[in-house]
Structure 1
Amino acid sequence: MSIIKVIIPAFNEEKAIANVIAEIPNGVNEIIVISNNSTDKTEEVANNAGAKVLLETRKGYGYACLKGMEYIMNLETKPDIIVFLDGDYSDYPEELTKLVAPILNQNIDFVIGARVSNLREKGSMTPQQVFGNWLATFLMKVFFKAKFTDLGPFRAIKYDKLLQLQMEDKTYGWTVEMQLKVLKQKMSYVEIPVRYKNRIGVSKVSGTVKGTIMAGVKIIGWIMKYTFKK
């Protein structure tokens, strides 16, 4: 039986996090919520909902994910699969079984939950998000012959492959870094269409001008770095 652990970065998600945890399928062995310097009751709510709660005071999506990975590396029993899931309830956690299926049944290394347009709730992705996803995946197709269509944060990966990627990004570039390294290391990957709904609360990235610009700079920066890297 494969051991599956879920990493959920969360910043001020007290209204959403319990819903996310409650809808994660029973086959998951541990749910790890990383409170990224939250100022509300995210930690208390997540703990009461049954998650393992960690604190990361350095602000940044990547910092939170790396904290979760550090915790797992110190466990005696290591997982087979890691699933990354946002804490804002925009994804459908029960679709986790669809994401891990290609790993379990086809020995695929990496699976992206692709937020395809016909399964997205109206307004769930801002125009800048849609454009940013298109531009990033277009560039990856041009430079690396990639088949990605999305930078969706809902994703699953074999644990040993995740370690092999040697993830570095501390903030907005985490998702694109992972995909670029999967391509460069010639790991197997697939996309699985997933539903996507309006999040609870306001996005800390796409909901602000600064967040949108910083995310865009990070994403393009990682693509350029790997395009011209020897």
Structure 2
Amino acid sequence: MTKISVIIPAFNEAESIAKVVEAIPECVDQIIVVNNTSTDNTEYIARNAGATVVNESKKGYGHACLKGMAYISKCGELPDIIVFLDGDFSDYPEELTKLVQPIIDKDLDFVLGARVKHLREKGSMTIPQVFGNWLATSLMKLLFNAKFTDLGPFRAIKYERLLALQMKDKTYGWTVEMQLKVLKQKLAYIEIPVHYRNRIGKSKVSGTIKGAIFAGVKILFWIFKYSFKK
């Protein structure tokens, strides 16, 4: 039986986190919400919804993901697959089964949930997000012959492959770092189209000028770093 763990980084997601946890399919064995310096009731609500909550005192998406991984590494029975998704209810957690199926059935290593235009709710992605995704994936195609079209947060990966990636980024570059390392290590991957809706609450990255700029810089940093790395 395939064991699946979910990691959900969460910063002030009290309005949405219960919806996310409750919508995750029953095939999942472990739901970990990483409370990343929240000042609201995210931790309390996530626990009440049935998730395991761990706290990360260093702010940053990558910090939260790494904290979730560290917690899993100390669990008795390790998972076969790790799924990452956001805590703002913009992803559709019930589509998790679509992401893990190619790993289970076809022995793929990595599956990305691609937020394709015809499945996106109007306004769910900002113009900087759409442009940033296009630029990043175009560069990856040019430099690495990649087939990615998105840097979406909803993704599934074999646990052992995730460990082998030796993820480092602590903030905005986490998603692109993972995809670049998937390419560098020649892992078997695929994109699956997923639905995407307007998030609950305000975005902490794309919703601010500072966040959008820092995210863009981090993404370009990782791409050019790996383009010159042998």
Tell me the secondary structure at the aligned position of residue 91 of structure 2. Answer: coil
Determine the structure 1 residue equivalent to 2:151: 151
**Aligned counterpart, 2:203:** 203
- Paired with 2:37 and 2:98, the residues of 1 have a C-alpha distance of 31
Question: Is residue 75 of structure 2 the alignment partner of residue 101 of structure 1?
Answer: no
1:41 maps to what in 2? 41
Q: Provide, for residues 117-171 of structure 1, a one-character-per-residue CA deviation record: whole Å limited to 9, x for no partner.
A: 0000000000000000000000000000000000000000000000000000000
**Match for residue 135 of structure 1?**
135
SS of residue in 2 equivalent to 1:31 = strand
Q: What's the counterpart of residue 78 of structure 1?
A: 78
For 2:82, what is the secondary structure of its paired residue? Answer: strand
Aligned length: 230
Aligned to 2:33, the other structure's residue is in SS state strand
Q: Give the aligned partner of residue 169 of structure 1.
A: 169
- The aligned residue for residue 6 of structure 2 is 6
Mapped partners of 1:76, 1:4: distance in 2: 14
Per-residue deviation, 1:76: 1.6
Matches within 5 A, 1:33-72: 33-72=33-72
Indicate the RMSD between aligned Cα atoms, in angstroms. Answer: 0.3
Q: Which amino acid is the alignment partner of residue 22 of structure 2?
A: A
Partner of 1:224: 224
Letter in 1 for 2:30: E
Quote the offset at 1:189 in angstroms: 0.2
Task: Return the letter of the residue paired with 2:176.
Answer: V
For residue 190 of structure 1, report the CA deviation from its aligned partner.
Answer: 0.2
Cα deviations by residue, 1:6-58 (Å, 9 ceiling, x for unpaired): 00000000000000001000000010000100000000000000000000010
**Separation (CA, whole Å) in 2 of partners of 1:76 and 1:204:** 34
Could you say what secondary structure the match of 2:68 adopts?
helix
Offset at residue 75 of structure 1 (A):
1.1
Q: In 1, distance between residues paired with 2:150 and 2:207?
A: 19
Q: TM-score, normalised by structure 2?
A: 1.00
Distance 1:76 1:143 in 2: 41
Distance 2:19 2:72 in 1: 23
Task: Name the CA distance, whole Å, in 2 between partners of 1:82 and 1:229.
Answer: 27
- Separation of aligned partners in 2, 1:67 and 1:151: 21
Please give the alpha-carbon distance, in whole angstroms, between the structure 2 residues aligned to 1:131 and 1:208: 15
CA distance in 2, matches of 1:171, 1:196: 22
- Counterpart of 2:17 in structure 1 is 17
Q: TM-score scaled by structure 1?
A: 1.00
Query: Structure 2: which 5+ residue stretches go unaligned?
Result: none
The one-letter code matched in structure 2 to 1:46 is: A
Amino acid of the structure 2 residue aligned with 1:6: V
Q: Which residue of 1 aligns with 2:191?
A: 191
Instruction: Tell me how far apart the structure 1 counterparts of residues 119 and 79 of structure 2 sit (CA, whole Å).
Output: 30
Residue 124 of structure 1 is matched in structure 2 by 124
Runs of 4+ deviating beyond 2 Å? none
